[in-house]
Structure 1
């Protein structure tokens, strides 16, 4: 990514150093996952990638800028390292930040159904009801029901064997 002198100055004006952690906290826009965002030319870039590029150089194809501090809002280049998606996943697992069994079903904070509701959904699927009909009964989207039907969500619940 090409960064103009103006881009670099805007970057520097949008950070605040946390003295306790050493993190450079991004003070402008963030995405839904908490990563800083910055407009560079006509593109929206992740602020930690901009930081890496400014201070350490270009990010090679197939590599990502990973956080050693695990703070998505941090843009301190000393807290960033290059790795693959697999490296990042291994780092996450090594630090115990991966999703655990405690996040299954209704324990998952994003769950919109209770365990009993999900079991009933599976029974209605077995009875041949459509995703749309089941979704209306539980006031959820048809894609929520589709994910249950395909085993993408609530996969820990027992299902009837396919006939």
Structure 2
């Protein structure tokens, strides 16, 4: 990569510590990512920062922000990842704009329940077949989890 390093770093707000974000001061894309033109092509500032600090980005990898700040160019806040790992990180941190892709319900890898079980919980409780504690024990969750389901605080996307 043929980049004028001095010109590049002059557009970065470099802080005294590696813990702080170093924000891009130049042009930005609508979602906040630094944008620059070099060698007749447009480049993302965080990718340039990563390459200047670490060398070329291997094929199949992207540069991810550990700080979740799109304008950050601090090399210690950048890491290699894949589109899949970046998407999983986005879901875990609930950063997605479209909440229909949120890691809710059965899409949450930590979930012990699925839509069928939630419907059964609501049905059995409404029919008076089991109380919240019995349902919790039967499904291997806590009573507060059952209460949240019954009050539609969780699993509200499941109707039936």
TM-score, length-scaled by structure 1 = 0.56
Matches of residues 24-63 of structure 1 in structure 2 within 5 Å?
Answer: 24-63=22-61
Size of the aligned set, in residue pairs, is 101
Distance (whole Å) between structure 2 residues aligned to residue 50 and residue 56 of structure 1:
10
1:17, distance to aligned residue in structure 2 (A): 3.2
The match for 2:99 is: 100
Runs of 4+ in 1 over 4 A off after TM superposition: 18-21
Report Cα offsets for 1:81-111 as digits up to 9, x if no partner. 101111100111111212325x9xxxxxxxx
Question: 3-state SS of the aligned residue for 1:26?
Answer: coil
The match for 2:89 is: 91
Q: Tell whether the 8 Å contact from 1:18 to 1:25 is kept in structure 2 after alignment.
A: no
Aligned counterpart in structure 1 of residue 12 of structure 2, from 15, 19, 31: 15
Which stretch shows the higher mean deviation, 32-41 or 65-74? 32-41
What is the RMSD computed on CA atoms of the aligned residues?
A: 2.3
Distance (whole Å) between structure 2 residues aligned to residue 97 and residue 42 of structure 1:
33
Q: Tell whether the 8 Å contact from 1:65 to 1:82 is kept in structure 2 after alignment.
A: yes
If you compute each CA radius of gyration, which structure gives the higher value, 1 or 2?
Answer: 2
Unaligned runs of 5+ in 2: 103-156
TM-score, length-scaled by structure 2 = 0.57
Question: 3-state SS of the aligned residue for 1:39?
Answer: strand
Unaligned runs of 5+ in 1: 104-155, 157-163
Q: Tell whether the 8 Å contact from 1:63 to 1:82 is kept in structure 2 after alignment.
A: yes
